[in-house]
Amino acid sequence: MQSEPAPCRMSGSAAEQPPPGAITLEDLEGMSGGEEEVPPPPGSDLAYHSCSSSLQGHEDEQERLLTYWQGVGRGHQVDVPWDMAEPIQQLTRNNHLQERESVAFTVIKRKEKLGQVLYEKRCYGKSKWACVKVQEEQYEQSICLGFMKLMRYICEQNSSGLYLGMTVPIVTIVHTSESASDLTRRVTVAYHLPSGLQGQPPEPYDPDITIEEWPPAIIYARGFRGVTNEVSIAREIDLLAELLESPELCLQDTFIVAGYTNPAAINRQNEIWFLERP
């Protein structure tokens, strides 16, 4: 295994710089500005100046958020281009914990020890996902760049022209080498389409994003916190394999990392998923 790379941080607070990688989706909620003001009467000089100020404030907010993301991105070998300004601002403004839709599943079995859940066996139904394949030098770079592409799709860069809404988890499909000792560089980052869009998902403008229908699956899920990189993922794969009664029933070269917080956060809420063979 290679040495553990630094986490990729992608967002933060303008008022106070947090510890490295400490930003989560929850933290994005507080970055959109102050309380909403009552607008002046239409047609008045005050309204004109208010509109100009509003446009200037909109641009200032975009520049502030983008500049921050670009700064921390450079520290982790990830370029955040200028066309990410609008998606970053939209996700910031629309990100509310209570409005995030979770992927539905049914718990078949739960293994516990001393009150601690070791893993769950779950059933997931057939559903559609927006997927992007990425291959960078480091796993962290791949998931960050894949997530940025999906952000554009979620934030109006789709055939509906609408903000689609955030769902959790964002998942990354990883593969191991033939020796099962290393992760391959090519990964798939995927976003679950909200339930209201499953019947007719908006088409992405980005040709790198494809809409895939995943069949029903039985998965074994174990939660863990912290950064997700080659070292931590390999460790979690080994831990879950040791806990399962019959690990040979699962795929041995394909695994899923499910992220419930921003993939840029250092203390992420994650799960490792094993897929039961069909």
Higher pLDDT, 76 or 220: 220
pLDDT band, very low/low/confident/very high, at 5 (cuts 50, 70, 90)? very low
pLDDT band, very low/low/confident/very high, at 46 (cuts 50, 70, 90)? very low
User: What's the pLDDT at 95?
Assistant: 59
Q: What is the CATH number of domain 101-276?
A: 3.20.80.10
Among 196, 224, 232, 199, CA closest to 213: 199
Question: What tokens were used for 101?
Answer: 């839709």
User: What's the pLDDT at 20?
Assistant: 32
pLDDT band, very low/low/confident/very high, at 27 (cuts 50, 70, 90)? very low
**Least confident window among 16-25, 223-232, 265-274:** 16-25
Domain ranges of the chain: 25-94, 101-276
**Least confident window among 2-6, 56-60, 102-106, 114-118:** 2-6
Answer for the pair 140, 8: CB distance below 8 angstroms, yes or no: yes
Answer for the pair 259, 170: CB distance below 8 angstroms, yes or no: yes
Among 117, 111, 68, CA closest to 88: 68
- Give 198-216 pLDDT, tens digit per residue: 999 999 999 999 999 999 9
Answer for the pair 274, 236: CB distance below 8 angstroms, yes or no: no
Residue 50 pLDDT exceeds 50: no
The whole-angstrom separation of Cα 250 and Cα 255 is 9
User: What's the pLDDT at 77?
Assistant: 66
Question: What tokens were used for 276?
Answer: 């039961």
- Give 128-154 pLDDT, tens digit per residue: 999 999 998 888 788 888 988 998 899
Which pTM does this prediction carry? 0.74
